[in-house]
Amino acid sequence: MKTLWQLNVVIAKANTEAFCDWVRAEWAIEPVAMERPHGDHAVVNMYFDSRSVAHARQRAAAGFDGLISAHVLPCHEKEWTTFWRHHFRVLDIGRRLRIVPIWEKAPDRKRLNLKIDPGLSFGTGDHFTTRFCLEALEAACDAIRPKSMLDAGTGSGILAIAAAKLGVPRIAAFDNDPVCVKQSRKNAILNRLGAKRIRFFEADVLAHGWETPAADIVCANILTPILIQAAPALWRATRRQLMLTGIRETEGDSVAQAFHELGAREILRDGDGEWCGLVFARRN
């Protein structure tokens, strides 16, 4: 039986949100935070493939403000699967998309079923940021019939896989975490997409080397500081529409300003009170 490694962090409740954002940005995984309504601390769990990586992350987290304790614990595959069965269920998104975890059966074929094994990566559709990108992607596929798509920070590969199911012919997707790239390829196979249907590769959006020919649609579900720093490269990579999320509601204007200065035209903004998403288009 495969063993994963859990990093169990106890942290002051006031610092939980900042810590979870930092984990997403630095480690490209989705932390699981649990709080008691009247308590003053929270428990945040993260999962890793190897013990050495979990211990390295434990050391990296040691100096975070509000940290009370951090322990590495073994987590057997059965326990991991049980956890996801409680937190990840069949979910309809937009008019045509449906996310189906691998342990569930698609109820019918009336929607485009996206089979996903979450693994250790981020992107199950349960978070506002992923839902926003999926809905915006579906709308763009209907409106502009894109011929190409680039997914920056692909996580589980869910956006790239959705683009393939929606009929986008040429798709590339990258992540700076090799675990995410590997999991994305596995998820593409789960959806009966050939090895060459989506080009998954490892790259850092802030480094040179990922730039590809401009795509009709670019999606980037990445946190605000990185989006702002990578703005020129992301806009150069966009031929028609750019979809951005991973942005706190309070940060939406700052991200929008960075892209407005590059000549981008904002055509959509949506949020859930905590997170927001933006869509930009090239000016005619």
Dump pLDDT digits (tens) for 158-191: 999 999 999 999 999 999 888 889 889 999 999 9
Band of pLDDT at residue 279, cut at 50, 70 and 90: very high
Residue 80: its pLDDT value, please?
58
The DSSP bridge partners found for residue 226 are none
Which domain does 65 fall in, by range? Answer: 3-83
Q: Are 70 and 23 in contact (CB under 8 A)?
A: no
- Average pLDDT of 234-260? 95
CATH number at residue 43: 3.30.70.260
Alpha-carbon span 115 to 162, nearest angstrom = 10
- Average pLDDT of 75-102? 76
Are residues 175 and 270 both part of a single domain? Answer: yes
- Average pLDDT of 60-70? 94
Q: Are 174 and 202 in contact (CB under 8 A)?
A: yes
Amino acid at 262: L
Residue 85: its pLDDT value, please?
62
pTM of the model: 0.77
Band of pLDDT at residue 217, cut at 50, 70 and 90: very high
Residue 87: its pLDDT value, please?
61
Are residues 277 and 136 both part of a single domain? Answer: yes
Question: What is the total count of domains within the chain?
Answer: 2
